[in-house]
Structure 1
Amino acid sequence: MLMIAKTYTTVLGGRELSIETGRLAKLVSGSVTLRYGDTMLLVTAQARDDKSTLDFLPLTVEFEERHYAVGKIPGSFHRREGRPGERAILSARITDRQIRPLFPKGYRHETQVIITVLSADQQNAPDVLGPIGASAALSISDIPWGGPTACVRVGQVDGEYVINPTAEQLTRSAFDLVVAGTRDAVLMVEAGAQTVSEETLVGAIEFAHREMQGVLGLIEQMRAELGQEKFNFLADGDLSTDLVPELTEAAKAAGLRDALLTVKKKERSANLKALRDRLIAARVLDADAEHTAALKAAFGKVEKQELRRLILEDDLRADGRNSKTVRPIWIEARPLPRAHGSAIFTRGETQVLGVATLGTERDELLVDDLTNEDNDKFLLHYNFPPYSTGEVKRMGGQSRREVGHGHLAKRAIRAVLPSFEEFPYVLRVVGEVLESNGSSSMATVCAGTLALMDAGVPLKAPVAGVAMGLVMEGERYRILTDILGLEDALGDMDFKVCGTAEGVTALQMDIKVGGITPAVMREALAQAREARLHILGKMAEVLPAPRSELSPTAPRIVSLKINPELIGKVIGPGGKQIRELEAMGAQVTIEEDGSVRIFSADGQAAEAVRTRIEGLTKTAKVGEEYEGTVVKTAPFGAFINLYPGQDGMLHISQMSEERINAVEDVLNVGDRLRVKIVNVDDRGKIDLIRPELEGKIAPREPRGARPGGGDRGPRPPRRD
């Protein structure tokens, strides 16, 4: 337990990064307070003393956003922070994916890393600072861990790479790239980009790796000066490791190669299970549970070794493909009759139903976190039900994996969406994973793109995605295109790349080994580009471009601009007028600048509402002619309704070439006639004339123009 506070500092991206330990949360195994600008995080790491019975690493990373960090009170009903939002989940995943590969093999102690945002200046994002804090906390703790690691964000502003760009700089950047690594290699990459080249991204990754070295050196110094002795743990698999040589020969003789090379996933799993059970039955007597478990673990290692050998030596994969081949693809557009846009994308045994829905600004997502972003007008939701893998599991809320996969697909597609001004719809895409045998998030990118195109959304270009894998043994390696679930589980890398024919729009890389070099990344990106172009070609065979018209079931939006001073007329007292407009069969939204959007599934209803609003907000101009209706008569003239909410006055002197004794001799309430505007005074009052009389009678001076003037001009002097 650390009792003396000590602070370590370095410069990162031109700003000071400080890490303090020994002052806060001193009862935990590892605790640091990190500050960058006015953003501050408390990061703790703790492990249980006793070993878990789980057969995987029980690591959890929590990213706790506190609204007080930005001087806000939470907007929830209870005015208290609740479950983590999407941004907090994604931030936790960034840290998890960076630290998880470096725990020792066989380590099974439940471990928890908690990142609490204490202060956020809204310029220096806390998501890339959390991993640095986690690395420092784990490094000085007694928890066995193979770090340190560091994490930075890279942008490109005015053609130059920038480390940890501010929020303002990021709005001008060509991409948003997060990179994590060790001293020697890159561990994790995640990016969203505006269709940039692969070489630009590799250059940014190399730049990030160089710039993070100072942070790595700082954490190494902390570990050397303050680090605790790591506790001993009993690794799993000692008995199973001893059984591997014998079981390898027996499995090969019993047909392991043929079982592994079964094309279909379910049949392959069944064949491998049957082979394993036969081998175990021949070696276990009297239901020895411990021996059985060891043999199962050993068979898993034999299976992994043989699969990797086939890939490295024979360039042969479980479903019979070589390393560069994409699985067979079939696509169906508009399978759902009532959805606004839909498509089924199937690649091998991975199948996703993409569905697009068009909505109004009322459907945009309210963002209530520590950012100052606008409400989100593009939503993408990824659903991964248990039946997609042929399993039975409890179904609850959205999992962190679903949030992460959906976010990646969202970043990939967002880059090609039209602006809201060009296409004023809130867009929602849902990816329903119907079958999953690897790369379901990338299939969601393809299905989502096709669904939007089917709905008639004018995308800048189609986007496709592909997941790349890696098998590496020493200096030997092979990069795999379009990986299976088995290759993801037994391989060394999951590298997802999305983009158009012109460049990359999103990528995500997770490494299960110590890291990979830029040369391997370049090769993987080049191989991914070939696959992406192949997939885009298959998509173009079904939908070469967005449909020229909106789907028949999609609602229509009619836009117009009104004088902001007239917004009140459209809303009406207490909202009465706008309720009447919406009763005509449309939703109406009005912005402060006078932008009006009318949203309706019925095009005729939308046009009717538009006509009504134009009438309510129309401004009369001198010289315009109208077919008006007499609504009132007076001794000095008649009031003519020109359009809803606007009357003008036709003076008695402007009604006829002959002198008229009474208005009613010429006009009565309800009569219709053609009139022309000859004057609009500063109070908005309108003077009219009958256009056929213009030039034949003397024009009347505007009201109030002559001293003592009224509607009939100056009155004669009074006689007593």
Structure 2
Amino acid sequence: MFDTKTVSIEWGGKTLTLETGRVARQADGAVLATLGETVVLCAVTAAKSVKEGQDFFPLTVHYQEKFSSAGRIPGGFFKRERGATEKETLTSRLIDRPVRPLFPEGFYNEINVIAQVMSYDGENEPDILAMIAASAALTISGVPFMGPIAGARVGYVDGEFVLNPTLEEAKSGDLDLVVAGTSNAVMMVESEAAELSEETMLGAVMFAHRACQPVIDAIIDLAEQAAKEPWELAPKADQSAMKKKLEKLIGKDIAAAYKLINKSERSDALNAARAKAKEAFADATPQDQMAAIKLVKKLEAEIVRGAILKDGSRIDGRNTKQIRPIEAMVRFLPRTHGSALFTRGETQAICTTTLGTKDSEQMIDGLTGLSYERFMLHYNFPPYSVGEVGRFGAPGRREIGHGKLAWRALHRVLPTTEEFPYTIRVLSDITESNGSSSMATVCGGSLSMMDAGVPLKRPVSGIAMGLILEGKDFAVLSDILGDEDHLGDMDFKVAGTSEGITSLQMDIKIAGITEEIMKVALAQAHEGRAHILGEMGKALDHTREELSAHAPRIETMQIDKTKIRDVIGTGGKVIREIVATTGAKVDIDDEGVIKISSSDVSQIEAARKWIEGIVEEAEVGKIYTGKVVNIVDFGAFVNFMGGKDGLVHVSEMKNERVEKPTDVVSEGQEVKVKVLEIDPRGKVRLSMRVVDQETGAELEDTRPPREPRERGDRGPRGDRGDRGGRGGDRGPRRDRGPRRDDDRGPRRGGGEHSDGGKDEGDAPEFAPAFLTGDRD
């Protein structure tokens, strides 16, 4: 029934299997990819015709993680997969970026690539497997895809590169890098690193590219068995005459426009040239009008690229290595915990840092279960930042991707939770954009965190590099403009500290770049990053020692794990009382680590003393401050050390005689007491009279000690007077009637443990009948 085709290879010590023909047979191409026990299904469908007026390539990639793949039910109210999570969005982009450039120019048929995680073993990450499955499905579908590509993840553990590391290896190692490439070139790089050198990063990229080759060969083997007939593309029309007409009409106008340094002036001049071209083709067919628009863009690219390759002259007059003017300032906003305004040329970001407590951490419900993230970075790109009218609202894929890139750049320089027990949120609002706003976010985010008092290992800067490649000639551009990005061949972003790279991202618009080009780009980026760090240092080159007055303070303390129950109390009663009374937030974990937070230091101190009182043991002879919680006839109970109660006897309230405790103290009154004694049962005896109630200083005990009394001092018992005999001297007994000689059992407390161990039958002669057991 099934015409199944399968290819398997050993890859990174595990078996990778690609299968087609069993499932999703109505799709143009469908592949089931398996690595270990992780299984991803990818199906590709393509529209057979182009919508009228379509002038762009509508490729859509969807990656979805099924909770059932890990044996989990989604959390929350809706028990099914809903909108794309951040990870699903990022993985969709991860697949889209290396695939998109491999479709021919002018191909505008809509294509859907849907990758779904069907089984997850907790070890083999499904994102790389989804990329491989997507590449294989496109390759066998018959659409004009100039692949295949493959992807690989690389870790760096103990100085060695690791192919497809586990989650734990990636977290504990110094590198998490993903590379996608064809058989002869690298197409895409995404990474997070622990301040690694350019040489190490380049080595990791090339290691990953080599690891992609056997996978590419396996996809080709599968295609040889199962590929559909390739689509026939319509031949390209000869547009040379139209191009010459446009060059003559607006060529000089475009060249002059790209000599204008100001972006708005340049945009106005270019729009005027484009309107002139549109007017010239007003009477042409819709197809020719669309072709003319495309040729204008080509003409712009040729003019800009030619000037750069010929004499190194860029749009704004800079040379290829020059960075635009930078201005940075901190404490830009008065009420935020930390803020920075970072401006580079016509790119600007307002970055703010907010510090929170543990309950502000982001909860993430994924295939591996619930997890919590203490560092968040959110990036916003409003339409006014580029002088346009557009949608304003929830973040799109681009905003999520740019925010994650900046997050990776800053993540590895953060302090540990033990060093800085705060939840950190960085917000980047792009207010101007003409060049890399994600790298402006890195610079501004680093400054705003240092302004907030986050002890970063070192400041981080970022730079975007571009590429112009024509044949064997190429030029690498530092700090690219938006137009250079659009008209160039590469978007290469590098972020890092003075010690090394923390993040590297590369996207290629052509069929890949070589190791030589990457080496030049990394070296040039190193110089640019160093310059930017110097400019940032003029605003702030170190972390502030004091937190903002508006930021919460967090104090950490460690208690014995056996005392956790005492601090929490039955049903959380004690910890709720501490929070309600002091106003501070209190969090405690299973290891006995307590975090007390508040913007008021006095509240933290009150909660800390309360908890110390619960977990510490009272010391005999030590003076404490307590509160009267209950007054009785013989004294007052005082709560001290937060969770301890002790008795101040009425005789220990003052040196003179006290008739009633209420003459000295009242409930709720704060008093100073000295611990006199702790009995074996833990009961505490306190004294107020030996403590100065004003200063808390110990007073000399002037009361003479009591003489020990002996029983003989009271005189013989007979001296207490004639109390009368036990018999008739007390008067006659009332007549209760004769005693019944019934058998009621032994006397209470009798038996072998009473009356000297006598048996119940050994009752004395005067015992009544009901004690002797004689019953009728």
How high is the TM-score relative to the length of structure 2?
Answer: 0.83
1:692-703 superposed matches below 5 A: none
Distance 2:2 2:59 in 1: 26
CA contact (8 A) 1:98 1:131 kept: no
Instruction: Give, in angstroms, the shift of residue 314 of structure 1.
Output: 1.3
Instruction: Give, in angstroms, the shift of residue 586 of structure 1.
Output: 2.6
CA contact (8 A) 1:633 1:664 kept: no
1:107-122 superposed matches below 5 A: 107-122=107-122
Partner of 2:151: 151
Quick check: 1:417 aligned with 2:414? yes
Partner of 1:98: 98
Question: For each residue in 1:177-228, what CA deviation from the matched residue of structure 2 results, as whole angstroms up to 9, or x when unmatched?
Answer: 0011111111100100111111101111111111211111111111122211
- Name the stretch that deviates more: 10-19 or 287-296: 287-296
- Name the stretch that deviates more: 146-155 or 263-272: 263-272
User: Which protein is bigger by CA-based radius of gyration?
Assistant: 2
C-alpha change, 1:32 and 1:51, in structure 2 (3 Å) is same
Distance 1:310 1:673 in 2: 85
Distance 1:536 1:373 in 2: 37
Give the residue type in structure 1 aligned to 2:177.
Answer: L
Partner of 2:665: 670
Out of 389, 393, 403, the position equivalent to 1:392 is 389
C-alpha change, 1:647 and 1:277, in structure 2 (3 Å) is closer
Quick check: 1:521 aligned with 2:518? yes
Distance 1:168 1:75 in 2: 24
User: Residue 51 of structure 1: SS of its match in structure 2?
Assistant: coil
Question: For each residue in 1:247-276, what CA deviation from the matched residue of structure 2 results, as whole angstroms up to 9, or x when unmatched?
Answer: 224434x34322111111121121122123
- Name the stretch that deviates more: 532-541 or 295-304: 295-304
Quick check: 1:444 aligned with 2:444? no
Out of 482, 486, 490, the position equivalent to 1:489 is 486
Out of 574, 578, 590, the position equivalent to 1:581 is 578
Partner of 1:205: 205
Quick check: 1:558 aligned with 2:563? no
Instruction: Give, in angstroms, the shift of residue 582 of structure 1.
Output: 3.2
Partner of 2:588: 590
CA contact (8 A) 1:31 1:42 kept: yes
Question: For each residue in 1:157-192, what CA deviation from the matched residue of structure 2 results, as whole angstroms up to 9, or x when unmatched?
Answer: 121111001112212211100011111111100100
1:65-214 superposed matches below 5 A: 65-214=65-214
C-alpha change, 1:250 and 1:566, in structure 2 (3 Å) is same
Q: RMSD across aligned C-alpha pairs, in angstroms?
A: 3.1
Question: For each residue in 1:682-708, what CA deviation from the matched residue of structure 2 results, as whole angstroms up to 9, or x when unmatched?
Answer: x433466879679x98999xxxxxxxx
Instruction: Give, in angstroms, the shift of residue 372 of structure 1.
Output: 4.5
Partner of 1:462: 459
- Name the stretch that deviates more: 51-60 or 122-131: 51-60
Quick check: 1:374 aligned with 2:371? yes
Question: For each residue in 1:4-43, what CA deviation from the matched residue of structure 2 results, as whole angstroms up to 9, or x when unmatched?
Answer: 1122111111111111111111111111111111111001
Quick check: 1:512 aligned with 2:514? no
Distance 1:482 1:398 in 2: 25
C-alpha change, 1:143 and 1:678, in structure 2 (3 Å) is same
Partner of 2:246: 247
CA contact (8 A) 1:244 1:301 kept: no
Q: How many residues align?
A: 694
Question: For each residue in 1:491-532, what CA deviation from the matched residue of structure 2 results, as whole angstroms up to 9, or x when unmatched?
Answer: 100001000011000110001111111111111011001000
Instruction: Give, in angstroms, the shift of residue 395 of structure 1.
Output: 2.6
Partner of 1:610: 608
Distance 1:154 1:519 in 2: 20
Question: For each residue in 1:668-695, what CA deviation from the matched residue of structure 2 results, as whole angstroms up to 9, or x when unmatched?
Answer: 87396753455463x433466879679x
Distance 2:410 2:134 in 1: 31
Instruction: Give, in angstroms, the shift of residue 638 of structure 1.
Output: 8.0
Instruction: Give, in angstroms, the shift of residue 84 of structure 1.
Output: 0.8
Partner of 1:709: none
C-alpha change, 1:666 and 1:140, in structure 2 (3 Å) is closer
Question: For each residue in 1:41-67, what CA deviation from the matched residue of structure 2 results, as whole angstroms up to 9, or x when unmatched?
Answer: 001111011113432110000001110
Quick check: 1:316 aligned with 2:313? yes
CA contact (8 A) 1:640 1:650 kept: yes
Out of 415, 429, 443, the position equivalent to 1:432 is 429
Distance 1:319 1:462 in 2: 29
Partner of 2:534: 537
Instruction: Give, in angstroms, the shift of residue 156 of structure 1.
Output: 1.0
Instruction: Give, in angstroms, the shift of residue 312 of structure 1.
Output: 0.5
Out of 270, 273, 278, the position equivalent to 2:271 is 273
C-alpha change, 1:270 and 1:167, in structure 2 (3 Å) is same
C-alpha change, 1:302 and 1:561, in structure 2 (3 Å) is same
C-alpha change, 1:90 and 1:664, in structure 2 (3 Å) is same
C-alpha change, 1:627 and 1:39, in structure 2 (3 Å) is closer
Quick check: 1:548 aligned with 2:545? yes
Quick check: 1:407 aligned with 2:404? yes
C-alpha change, 1:289 and 1:16, in structure 2 (3 Å) is closer
Partner of 1:264: 262
User: Residue 50 of structure 1: SS of its match in structure 2?
Assistant: coil
Unaligned runs of 5+ in 2: 691-697, 709-754, 756-765, 767-776
C-alpha change, 1:486 and 1:207, in structure 2 (3 Å) is same
C-alpha change, 1:285 and 1:458, in structure 2 (3 Å) is closer
Distance 1:255 1:152 in 2: 46
CA contact (8 A) 1:498 1:507 kept: yes
Partner of 1:226: 226
Distance 2:33 2:288 in 1: 48
Quick check: 1:51 aligned with 2:56? no
C-alpha change, 1:34 and 1:429, in structure 2 (3 Å) is same
Question: For each residue in 1:509-562, what CA deviation from the matched residue of structure 2 results, as whole angstroms up to 9, or x when unmatched?
Answer: 001111111111111011001000000000000101111211122121222233
Partner of 1:707: none
How high is the TM-score relative to the length of structure 1?
Answer: 0.90
Question: For each residue in 1:462-494, what CA deviation from the matched residue of structure 2 results, as whole angstroms up to 9, or x when unmatched?
Answer: 001111000000000000001111111111000
Quick check: 1:600 aligned with 2:598? yes
Instruction: Give, in angstroms, the shift of residue 666 of structure 1.
Output: 11
Give the residue type in structure 1 aligned to 2:514.
Answer: T
